[in-house]
Structure 1
Amino acid sequence: MDPAAAAFTEVDELVEEVLIRFPPHDPARLAGAALICKRWCRILTGAGFRRRFRERHRAAPPMLGFLHRPLPVPPYDGAKCGFTRTTSFSPRGADLALGGAREPLDCRHGRVLIGRPPKVCDKSDCCLAVWDPVTGEKLELPEPPLCREWSLLNWNAAVLCASSRDGTCDHLDCHRGPFLVVVVGTNILVLFACVYSSEDGAWSKPTYALQPMEDNIVCFHLSEPSVLAGNALCLISANDMDLDGSIIKYDLGTSKIDQIQLPPSTTRYTKSVVLTATENGGLGCAIVEHSRLSLWLWVAGPKEQWVWAQSRVIELEKIIPDDDILISYRLVGFAHGLDVLFATRFDGLFIINLKSGRMKKLCKGPGIYSIIPYVSFCTPELRVISTGEGPTVGASSAQELRFLVQALRVTSTGEGSSAGASSAHRTPVSDARCM
């Protein structure tokens, strides 16, 4: 290899070692680095860097923002669903994806499932679509066969990577790969489910399960997205008699539908309940009543029977922010992989970190009905005009050096900001496209 080319390669490797240490929760910093020069752009947009970046930070994919739905009661019932950023990430196509009667239903593996509530579904139009906030791509799905065969009183749906069935994907970089959409519905007497495969471009035949008459289940809670626990999707359902609700479990491998009762003494209409999942794929449940947060796990009990076991109790009055008064909280979401719960009350949205046991206010304002966190990696994709440029010299080299020095300081100490790290280049970060 030519000595100059070899030196050039060594410099690129050093640059990549620095850039790969950038915090994943600040995509604008990587986008700013990609605008420094064509060489850096080539490094950052390469598949190798994208994979290494995700593998390095795989233990903590960042929450780039969250989707939310307003309370379905006055004065909030006229408000629109939206995407709230918690980082420098800016979603593409949010206005179009969430416009009209569209609502976010679920989010997983970098994709968002949007749709219309059953009451406004038009059989001549698609009710569901899958949206990628990073690329802005949106795929309209054909009408599920359930809508044609049954009179649905209610349903819920979930989106996930197609490899979730066999567990062959680590979900670090699969948001543009094949996916599945699962719809579970009820017509009072029967539970049924069907699966859309992006590889086949079609829905599967429905799977059915009879409902015990005493359960009298008639609706799913669209305000509560599903939880992926191991190889099963779990959703909360409730009845119309103010009695205990239950969990509907759909096994992705066997297509079997089962019902699980919520933890003891849980009344769905009087208590705040969300489903959770553990790192090893176990099913959990979080319940808030008054000032107490109870965490439950679905575990194997005596005689090979599965039971609910209370794993932890958190007294909210001990962890609320100092300037807040203790008022009833309502759980509205859970971020899998981050072990955080979202709770709302009259003055804003709060986040409860189950690992640290701390609680803080995320944003102000009432009227939030449900939260769907968007947890994903985001690395830049820019149009590279040419990748055959020679060594960068003069002012550009000094510019690169200043950026790297600043980046090393920010990465090692946590100080500074993405604006400071990218100030060496005058091109707006918004010109960068993320993928």
Structure 2
Amino acid sequence: SEILVRLPPLPSSLPRAFLVCERWRGIVSDARFLRRFRLHHRRNPPLLGCFVQGISPVHFEPTLDAPNRVPQARFPFPIDAVHTYVILGCRHGLMLIFLWRRNQLLVWDPITGDRHHLDVPPGFDNEETMISGAVLRAAGVPHRFQVVLVGNSGIHHSQAVASVYSSDTGVWSNLVSTLLPANDPDVLTMVYHDMCSVMVGNSLYWFLIGNFCGILEFNLDRQSLSVIHVPVDVDVNTCSITVIRAEGGGLGFLFLSDYCVQAWKWKTDCDGVASWVLERTVALDKLLSMNSEEGSQSPRILGFAEDNNVVLLWTFIGVFKVQFESLQFKKLLESYRFYCWFHYYPFEGVYTADGGIGGGPYGAKALHNMCLLYSGC
């Protein structure tokens, strides 16, 4: 088991080990081993695919090559009714969904099918502005999770507020708040929902739009909110942005306009003064070997897969994952013109064949069936 737990966290690893011999079969189909395997690899999971939201119901688009390609039907979306929910993002194998008609949050585990419904705590404005949030698992405890909810204050819209839910206690923390910069009192500043939260270190980040364009930071250790200015003027109608993990660690900011990408890093100098520094500029059409004159629509940032440290990009020749430190890239999906305005939610996780049915003979049968599936038999 000490050796097998270190197999690559790919969907085909355990089904292949299952067929080696009876002893290995007993180990990899045991529920305790499967939990340990997922826990061991929780910080380096593969990018299994993306949940895509467009004109049709949300569906899963696998991105791994065979034999690790997870079938699309393995992750059916748990909500049938359209226009009743907003996906707030994925992290640590969980998805956070805002059920705005019920004023509830749904924490969904696509791999096991587990669902947890949470009532939105008081203090948030959900009439003039939309709330946002993030989900994360507690370190070292796969069955525990936290939800961080952010939004405009229901009393003072010029303030951002946040609260944290812990599955350990089953309650929300007291609200914390920070003042949002404002140039025009008649225009609200709010969280930009086309960019999901990004976790860098022990902080979560969201982009702010409206009266002020900036970054909202929630520090998990201090349980505090703060606002960071962005290094460039941003018009979300003509450019794409995302927070990333910068080269060497720390907060980074990616700005895409037309085919030009700017990668910025938040640095602190010897006097303790923090500011943005331009780290690199990348010409996407050159990197991806595109003829920019052929495309009628410019590339767009779809999201950031934190554990794999890659940015997902839509282009007229396909959807790519790009690692901007090494400038390595790979085409994940074919591209269709109308797909450029779809929402893509990268899903990273350790997918084992038991899928929540446990070990024993049923887990063994699932592993065997998946081995046949992945091997193409």
Give the TM-score range, shorter chain.
Answer: 0.7 to 0.9
Q: Which has the higher helix share?
A: 1
Q: Does the C-alpha gap of structure 1 residues 130 and 59 become closer, same or farther in structure 2, counting only changes over 3 Å?
A: closer
The Cα of 1:333 is off from its aligned counterpart by 0.6
The residue type paired with residue 94 of structure 1 is P
Q: 1:112·1:133 contact (CA, 8 Å) conserved in 2?
A: yes
Retained in 2: the 8 A contact 1:152–1:185?
A: no
Which of 177, 183, 186 aligns to 2:152? It is 186
- 2:345 corresponding residue in structure 1: 372
Q: Which secondary structure state, in structure 2, belongs to the residue aligned with residue 214 of structure 1?
A: coil
Deviation at 1:52, TM superposition (A): 5.9
Alpha-carbon distance change, 80 to 143 in structure 1, aligned in 2, over 3 angstroms: same
Q: Which residue is equivalent to 1:431?
A: none
1:146 aligned counterpart, secondary structure: coil
The answer for the alignment partner of 1:206 in structure 2 is 175
Q: CA deviation at 1:62?
A: 0.7
For 1:369 and 1:309, locate their aligned partners in 2 and report how far apart those are by CA, in whole Å. Answer: 31
Which 5+ residue runs of structure 2 have no aligned equivalent?
none
3-state DSSP of counterpart to 1:304: coil
Residue 219 of structure 1 and its aligned partner are, at CA, apart by 2.3
Q: Which moved more, 1:326-335 or 1:226-235?
A: 326-335
What is the TM-score with the length of structure 2 in the denominator?
A: 0.80
**Cα shift at 1:157:** 0.7
C-alpha contact 1:92 1:136 (8 A) present in aligned 2 = no
- Please tell me whether residue 248 in structure 1 is matched to residue 248 in structure 2: no
1:109–1:376 CA contact under 8 A, matched in 2 = yes
Percent identity at matched positions? 28
Q: Is residue 136 of structure 2 the alignment partner of residue 155 of structure 1?
A: no
- 1:185 alignment partner AA: G
> How many angstroms apart in 2 are the aligned matches of 1:51 and 1:383?
12
Provide the rounded CA distance (Å) in 1 between the counterparts of 2:331 and 2:23: 41
Distance (whole Å) between structure 2 residues aligned to residue 42 and residue 287 of structure 1: 50
**Cα separation, 2, equivalents of 1:33 and 1:103:** 39
Moved more, 336-345 or 288-297: 336-345
* Aligned position for 1:399: none
Equivalent position to 1:226, from 197, 207, 213: 197
Alpha-carbon distance, 1:383 to partner: 4.1
How far apart are the structure 1 equivalents of 2:273 and 2:74?
47
1:190-230 CA-to-partner distances (Å, cap 9, x unmatched) read 21111111111122221122223327543212221111122
Please state if 1:351 is matched with 2:351: no
The aligned counterpart of 1:104 is 87
Q: CA-atom RMSD, angstroms?
A: 3.4
Name the SS for the 1:284 alignment partner: strand
In the TM superposition, residue 273 of structure 1 has moved relative to its aligned partner by 0.6
CA contact (8 A) 1:67 1:373 kept: yes
| In 1: Cα distance, 2:326 partner to 2:7 partner | 24
Distance 1:146 1:68, change over 3 A: farther
Contact 1:320 1:360 (8 Å CA) reproduced:
no
Q: How many residues end up aligned between the 2 structures?
A: 352
Equivalent residue, structure 1, for 2:47: 63
| 2:9 maps to amino acid | P
Indicate yes or no: 2:312 matched with 1:342: yes
Residue 321 of structure 1 contacts residue 360 of structure 1 at CA under 8 Å; is this kept in 2?
A: no
Query: Could you tell me which amino acid in structure 2 is paired with residue 234 of structure 1?
Result: Y
The 1:60/1:354 distance shift into structure 2, 3 A limit, reads farther
Report the TM-score, using the length of structure 1 for normalisation.
0.70
Tell me how far 1:359 sits from its aligned partner.
3.6
Would you say the 8 A contact 1:321–1:359 is kept in 2? Answer: no
| 8 A contact 1:29–1:418 mirrored in 2 | no
Q: Out of 113, 124, 134, which is 1:136 matched to?
A: 113
Structure 1 residue ranges without an equivalent (≥5): 1-12, 71-77, 163-168, 388-402, 404-416, 427-435
Q: Do the aligned partners of 1:224 and 1:370 also contact (CA within 8 Å) in 2?
A: no
- C-alpha distance in structure 2 between counterparts of 1:330 and 1:322, whole Å: 14
Task: After TM superposition, give the deviation of residue 189 of structure 1 in Å.
Answer: 1.6
Describe the SS at the equivalent of 2:271: helix
- After TM superposition, give the deviation of residue 183 of structure 1 in Å: 0.9
Distance 1:385 1:150 in 2: 48
Q: Does the C-alpha gap of structure 1 residues 127 and 420 become closer, same or farther in structure 2, counting only changes over 3 Å?
A: closer
Which whole-Å CA distance do the structure 1 matches of 2:362 and 2:224 have between them?
53
Distance 2:371 2:216 in 1: 43
Are the equivalent residues in 2 in contact too, given 1:319–1:358 (CA < 8 A)?
A: no
Tell me the alpha carbon deviations over residues 358-410 of structure 1, each in whole angstroms, 9 at most, x when there is no partner.
Answer: 444322223243322111222343542499xxxxxxxxxxxxxxx9xxxxxxx
C-alpha deviation, 1:59, in angstroms: 7.2
- After superposition, the Cα gap between the structure-2 partners of 1:42 and 1:144, relative to the gap in structure 1 and judged at 3 Å, is farther
Query: Post-superposition shift, 1:280?
Result: 6.4
Q: Which amino acid aligns with 1:213?
A: A
Contact 2:89 2:134 in 1 (8 A): yes
